[in-house]
Structure 1
Amino acid sequence: MLFVNQVCSGVWGKAKKDNLSTRRGRSYKILLTIYLLLHNFAKTHETSTSEKVASELKKIIEKNQQSDIVVTFDVPSSETLNKITIKTKAHTDRAEKLKMISDALENQALGSQKRVLDLLKSEKSVKSRILWITNQLSIKSASAALIAEIAAVDEVTKIDIDAELEMIEPLKDPVDNLLNPPPRPRNSKYGQLTYGLETIKVPEVWSQGYYGQGINVGIIDFGIDVNHDVIRDSFIGTNNYGWFDPTNDTGLPNDHHGHGTHCLGTIVGHNGIGVAPGSRWMACEVTKDYSMEMFHTSAVACLQHFYCPGDESGRNRNCSIAPRGSSRKLYDAALPFKYSDTFLIFATGNFGPFCTTTALPQAIADIFSVGSTNYLGEVHWSSSGGPGINGSIKPAVVAPGIEVLSSCLNNTYCIKSGTSMASPHVAGIFALLLSKNPNLKNEEMWDVLINSTEPVTPTNKKEQCEKPPTSQYPNNRAGYGRINALKAIINVKIP
């Protein structure tokens, strides 16, 4: 049978055999549809069924006769979301909102996808996952015959490949002409802290008693080394849905690259590494087979898992992956978080100094994205610039991201650079603020963050991305400025 997880992210399942006579009876229709699909691809006149199949997918199935696919259905998740959020406005309980919204999205997806799910019951060894958060269906190794059948279903609007998203790796050191700046100041009363924590005034927040205690944070990345000393004890645990690996199906957090471990250390790490050492964490692995490959369905599945109600899902998700060449559907998957007071933070990307280099979904106006500054307090040349879609200011803010010391593989420490190192600082600040006022709404948090900044300058003062100039704020190099944790905690009122 096809396994459908009614609560969380869905699981891969195998479909069982169909009745042989039914299978034979259907074969003539399949062959005819395949003929129409495959042989009409090159013709100027295509049937409406064929038009549902993306051109790149057509080429792949002509060559290989199968492909991993993503099926999109006729009722957009955004439409369902708009309807249900009208009903949830009157509800103040966050858990209740999460359940109402996720139930509505899942019920709509199950209704829209019923005919295709019925088709899958008759297929051998077909693995699928319902992506109810975007009303899509992910299918592994779909044959040309199956694709043809799915395309004939009225509720299906598009069939595409499971697109690979180009990952943004940390910058290669050395990234600046800095003469080995000390990663930790020597004169801090809190011991040796990273320069990033000192720069954004984190110790001053700790002195007020706020360490992120009582707050769960989450990270979508390449994996986590759960055995590292600075993050091991704050893992929320697998019994609390603290780890999800939709592609490799591993049972415990693991990391073969170090990127995720480094980012998480900056958020919650002990030992003077993390902004919010009092917080607990959960994580989702998005890469395939320990490679640097990330696909659309993995990213959506991770967001869907984090949205799952009924567990200890946190209030803050750090998407320190900055996918390039991604689709609007990633924004669709992120949109429900906006209506349930779960704040998503994205790294802007390392495509500077060029302007308009902030990719989707970061380039959309209501996605909070973070650029990077260096040890001298300048916006680094590599940090992606705005403007975003419809002229929106990008990034929202900047934070230390160049030569950042944090946790690495095998219980070691290392220095990495990029906007992936900047956004965890902001995620940590978010946890600090919630430890002071756990009732903050998303719009309140946004206002606090952009109004708790200080001026910075670009590495090259001539770097300007449209109006306003870099001497005015907000601008498309530094956003509203460099985040200041002390200002932010002062701007948050105790409930």
Structure 2
Amino acid sequence: MKLILVAIIIVALADEGISDRSKIDPRLLSRKSSETSNIFITFHNGTEYTIEHTGKSLFPGRAEKITALHDRLREHANHSQINVIAYLQRREKGPETKFQSFWISNEVFVKDVTMDDITALAKLQEVKFVSLEKVILLDTIDSGNITLTTFPGVQWGVTKIKAPEAINLLKTSSVIASQVVVGVIDTGCRYTHETLRYNWVGEYGWFDPYDGNMLPFDLNGHGTHVTGTICGKGGIGVYPDAKWMACRGCEGRTCSQSSLASCAQFMFCPTKADGSGSDCSKAPMIINNSWAGPGGHTWYDQYIAAWLAADIIPVFAIGNSGTSCNTAGYPGDNILVIGVGGTAINDQIYSLSSVGPALNGGLKPDVSAPGVDVYSASHLTDDLYTTKSGTSMAAPHVSGLVAILRAYNPNLSTADAVTYLRQGAETNLVSSGQTCGGKPDNIFPNNHFGYGRVNAFKSLQSLMYASTPFRCLTAGIYVNSRNCRKYYKCVEIWGKLYTFDLTCPPWSYFHKDRKKCILGKCT
């Protein structure tokens, strides 16, 4: 009888949640029982399978693909989250319970919950983890230099990365440039500014998860400045022909996880400003994220995975934690995104630009761009301009550059974009003599500059060259400069030249001088 009683007590204690403490963020466990917290609930059944399975299907175009992903992710979330949402709906506070389902990541955000609620939610079998909401701090440096002018002319960063030359090359090519939309997750944007008023996308181009404002605005200035650098007119923007859309992921100098999640979901499948009428065909091609938290995390990975599946290229600032090794910020340290460091006008690394390697050992940043004393649009009036410094200012230079590349080839993947950024990057930069991860900052790639400081003209040249098919002019055997295992054979048959694209056998490569395949690795 005593043995049975002991067994019952053990089962009861387990049912009280003792066995579920491993599913609760330690920061929540350390809080008083009377305190309330904002939490994120993740599920064992994540989004990986849904994304992978949808990616194996064929669709007529990008819009149809994103719409299918959207529908399947919503269906998956509805099924996975049913018990959690039922619990939240029947809490004693009833309709006052504030929670939000995120289908893009299969998570639920809940505001102001007690420890009793957290314990009860953690008991549900499908719940993987309950974490405290994270808050990111914006740490851009303002110079205080605000000036009144009309279209200030081409800025040093735009000139440094040779954006005007790249745009001229794009316009004189035989390819008709595609319209590119760049999404900006930031503090908002002053959409009436003289440099930005004509290329806002309009409807489906704004969402404010904090206050629900119906038109773009910016109380901080960070987002307006960033957007201006991407595509502002009058010389401040890298690619003024791009259109922009924005989501207010940051309020003041902080960015809450729930708002950044809302913006990630909005960018994947945009809605009208009131959250209605979703239309996935309006998704941007690039998303600029000029914010960063401590490195080594994973909490934004599900959103990034969804963006990549939707052919959206994510660009992130690497952070402003100084030039000590292993300071690269998250999500910029994620190997699947383009992490951007900052440089000065003399091509020296910005003194606060975070440095790799990432905590996972990966090389970061990927590339660097102008980030010191960058002059761009101010949020205060429609004709004011201001100067800011930080990797927040470097990232939009890269987003604008990638917009140029996608204008030439709208089907460009993130991996392709990284390839052409690397190929075009400048490496004749000013060394600080530092070494991180065993890589001196004057040997490229390294953990200070990445593959180098970006050059829009060279990157576009590389893309255009790679996009041009090889043409035989005379009979013979020719090197394929894009792949050392391949070569071309031009054969004349009845007066006509025919091109054969050939590949060497495994474990061999094409020797350019001997004009034949030989054993060995590509060099």
Mark yes or no: TM-score above 0.5: yes
- The alignment status of 1:302 with 2:263, answered yes or no, reads yes
> Quick one: distance in 2 between partners of 1:404 and 1:370?
15
**Measured at CA, do residues 456 and 352 of structure 1 come closer, stay the same or move farther in structure 2, by a change above 3 Å?**
farther
Quickly say closer, same or farther: Cα 1:37–1:350, change in 2 above 3 A.
Answer: farther
SS at match of 2:368: strand
Matches within 5 A, 1:10-409: 47-60=18-31, 62-64=33-35, 66-85=36-55, 87-88=56-57, 90-91=58-59, 93-123=61-91, 124=94, 125-165=96-136, 167-171=137-141, 173=143, 192-210=153-171, 214-237=179-202, 239=203, 241-288=204-251, 291-308=252-269, 310-324=280-294, 327-409=297-379
In the TM superposition, residue 78 of structure 1 has moved relative to its aligned partner by 2.7
More displaced 10-residue stretch of structure 1: 122-131 or 201-210: 201-210
SS at match of 1:217: strand
Q: Matched residue of 2:323: which SS?
A: coil
- Tell me the equivalent position of 2:471: none
CA-CA distance at 1:192 after TM superposition: 2.7
Q: Choose between structure 1 and 2: higher strand proportion.
A: 2
Shift of 1:91: 4.1
CA contact (8 A) 2:373 2:389 kept: yes
Q: Secondary structure at the match of 2:449?
A: coil
Q: 1:475 aligns with which of 433, 439, 446?
A: 446
- AA at the equivalent of 1:430: V
Q: CA deviation at 1:233?
A: 1.5
Contact 1:212 1:276 in 2 (8 A): no
- Greater mean alpha carbon deviation, residues 133-142 or residues 54-63: 54-63
TM-score (norm 1): 0.82
Structure 1 residue 218: Cα displacement:
0.7
Q: Distance in 1 between matches of 2:428 and 2:225?
A: 25
Q: Secondary structure at the match of 1:208?
A: helix
- Tell me if structure 1 keeps the 8 A contact 2:433–2:442: no
Match of 2:457 in 1: 486
1:191 CA displacement: 8.6
In 2, the alpha carbon distance for the partners of 1:212 and 1:169 equals: 36
Q: Distance in 1 between matches of 2:238 and 2:65?
A: 29
Question: 432, 438, 448: which one pairs with 1:461?
Answer: 432
What CA deviation, in whole Å up to 9, does each residue of 1:333-359 have, x standing for no partner? 111222222100001111121111112
Hey, what's the Cα distance between the residues in 2 that align with 1:101 and 1:353?
40
Whether the 8 Å CA contact 2:64–2:281 is kept in 1: the answer is no
Q: How many residues align?
A: 434
8 Å contact 2:296–2:358 — kept in the other structure? no
Find the counterpart in structure 2 of residue 443 from structure 1.
Answer: 415
2:404 pairs with one of 425, 429, 432: 432
Q: Structure 2 vs 1, CA of residues 298 and 326 (structure 1 numbering), >3 Å: closer, same or farther?
A: farther
Unaligned runs of 5+ in 2: 1-11, 270-278, 469-523
- Structure 2 letter corresponding to 1:223: G
Contact 1:374–1:400 under 8 Å retained in 2: yes
Pick the structure with greater CA Rg: 2
The alignment's TM-score, normalised by the length of structure 2, stands at: 0.77
Separation (CA, whole Å) in 2 of partners of 1:268 and 1:456:
27
SS in 1 for 2:48: helix
RMSD: 2.7
Asked whether the 8 Å contact 2:178–2:410 carries over to 1, the reply is no
Taking every aligned residue pair, what percent have the same amino acid on both sides? 32
Per-residue deviation, 1:111: 0.9
Question: What is the rounded CA distance, in whole Å, between the counterparts of 2:177 and 2:371 in structure 1?
Answer: 21
**Contact 2:206 2:247 (C-alpha < 8 Å) held by counterparts:** yes
The match for 2:499 is none
Mark the runs of 5 or more structure 1 residues left unpaired by the alignment.
1-34, 41-45, 175-179, 185-189
CA distance in 1, matches of 2:100, 2:177: 35
2:342–2:391 Cα contact (<8 Å) kept? yes
**Cα distance 1:220–1:381, how it changes in 2: closer, same or farther (>3 A)?**
same
How far does the alpha carbon of each residue in 1:251-290 deviate from its partner, in whole angstroms, 9 at most, with x for none? 21111111110000000100111011111110111124xx
